Amino acid sequence: MKTAEEIKNTEAQIWNILKFVMDPEVEVNIVDLGLIYKVVYDGESKVDIEMTLSTPACPIGDAIMLNVKEAINVQLPDLEIIVNLVFEPPWTPEMVSEEGKVILGM
């Protein structure tokens, strides 16, 4: 089992990795879009990611979720990655980061 600091550092590393996963429809990363709600590393071999999509009917949702797993797997290949898609709370434009708002011209 990792220390609390190692767990925190691994979770921060995963958040940084996810900044390279783009939503191809708007060309903004999924972290700045506010699509990632939670990253929880168990300190051993598993990371749970709670994320949403801008709409439940998003046609590229499966592709984004696959990209999340692949991006993490490249840098942390020993982790089991569980991506949980949730729609509560529903995504709103207010969840976009300041950096994302600049990119989107909001």
pLDDT digits (tens, 9 = 90+) for 51-92: 999 989 889 999 999 999 999 999 999 999 999 999 999 999
pLDDT digits (tens, 9 = 90+) for 36-46: 999 999 999 99
Residue 2: pLDDT band (50, 70, 90) is confident
60 and 25 in contact (C-beta within 8 Å)? yes
62 and 72 in contact (C-beta within 8 Å)? no
**Max CA pair span of the chain:** 44
Alpha-carbon distance of 91 to 48, in angstroms, equals 19
Query: Cβ–Cβ contacts within 10 Å for residue 25, how many?
Result: 11
Give the chain's mean pLDDT: 95
Q: Which two tokens stand for residue 96?
A: 């976009």
Q: Using the predicted structure, report yes or no on whether residue 1 has a pLDDT greater than 90.
A: no
Alpha-carbon distance of 10 to 92, in angstroms, equals 28
Q: What is the pLDDT of residue 4?
A: 92
Q: Using the predicted structure, report yes or no on whether residue 11 has a pLDDT greater than 80.
A: yes
User: Mind listing the domains of the chain with CATH numbers?
Assistant: 4-104 (3.30.300.130)
53 and 19 in contact (C-beta within 8 Å)? no
